[in-house]
Amino acid sequence: MKHSYKVTGLLLLFFMLAQFIGLAIIYNYIDVSKSEETGQTEFRDLPIGERPPLEEKTSYIPIIITIIVGTILMLFLMKHRFMILWKVWFLLAVVLSLTVAFGAFIPVLFAGIGAVFFGFWKIFRPNFWVQNLTELFIYGGLAAIMVPLLNVLSVSILLVLIAIYDAYAVWKSKHMITLAQEQTKAKVFAGLVIPYELPKKTVSKVKKTSRTKTPAPIKVRTAILGGGDIGFPLIFAGVLLKEMGLWQSLVLPFFAMAGLAYLLWLGEKDKFYPAMPFIGAGCFVGLGVIWLVQYLL
């Protein structure tokens, strides 16, 4: 088993919370009156502007290209130690995503103020709570942007491509491991970070070195789950909400969680694994079960 039962449980709990909070965000962006007029799911405008004008059938292509280019840019910034640029870029992404997420529930002005406040807190004064609680909303904001641009076929292709890319990036090139380690060191990790000890204990426990007699912090083992592992199954569920209905979207996260749980159970301690092949497989099993239930009903 990759992590302890407690840490595994927390990872799965936060994963599921992110899925359902994200679906609530997406649902609140549905324009009900316009949807009744057109007979299909229509979304209201975002507080940050219009969505990119992409064709649903081929929208996975620019999304994949953006991910690859973004990864190359991150590797470049980290290799040359341009960490301030990485933090500014990450801050902008967090603020925009949180503005969209909060804007689903509160007026735009307050959503923007809250996004800026939590964005700066997350980047420049990170701790266990602000890191993980903001992650519960960030991917809902991203999904609210991307879900209207996709249909079931294109999001399925996207999920397959992401799973292949994740496996290559972890098992072959290993650049995803480098990114995760560098982000964790810089305390600007995009994803969940669950320490094996409570935050209060990790700060207060110190040890003295024999030479300097000065306190040195004890390293605490942490469990991480990348943002893509949270965001892509949420986007998949959001597209089901758009194309099929509410109950279908609420069922899917349980299958995605099952795929993640299988990986955490199967995985070995201190080894890196690509989560998307397992989570993606869970999503497709869930889609098959949903289709079967709809056929029988």
Q: What is the pTM of this model?
A: 0.91
Taking the C-alpha atoms of residue 74 and residue 72, their distance in angstroms, rounded to an integer, is: 5
Pairing of strands 222-226, 191-195: antiparallel
For position 201, what pLDDT does the model report? 47
What is the pLDDT, as a whole number, of residue 111? 97
Residue 84 has pLDDT above 80, yes or no: yes
Q: What is the pLDDT of residue 218?
A: 52
Q: How far apart are CA 263 and CA 68, in angstroms?
A: 25
The amino acid occupying position 112 is G
User: For 39, left (φ over 0), alpha (ψ -120 to 50), or beta?
Assistant: left
Average pLDDT over every residue of 63-70? 92
Q: Is residue 253 pLDDT above 50, yes or no? A: yes
What was the pLDDT predicted at 200? 54
Residue 186 has pLDDT above 80, yes or no: no
Total residue count of the chain as it appears in this document: 297
Mean pLDDT of the chain: 90
3-class DSSP state of 80: coil
Task: For 130-179, write each residue's pLDDT tens digit.
Answer: 999 999 999 999 999 999 999 999 999 999 999 999 999 999 989 888 88
Output the pLDDT for position 177: 87
* Contact of 159 with 232, CB cutoff 8 Å: yes
Q: What is the pLDDT of residue 204?
A: 44
- The mean per-residue pLDDT over the stretch 73-81 comes to 83
pLDDT of residue 255 exceeding 70? yes
Q: How far apart are CA 297 and CA 292, in angstroms?
A: 9
What is the mean pLDDT of the segment spanning 17-36?
Answer: 96
Interatomic CA distance for residues 123 and 261, integer angstroms: 29
What is the reported pLDDT for 213? 53
Q: Which of 35-39, 129-133, 170-174, 204-208 has the lowest mean pLDDT?
A: 204-208
Predicted confidence at residue 99, as pLDDT, reads: 97
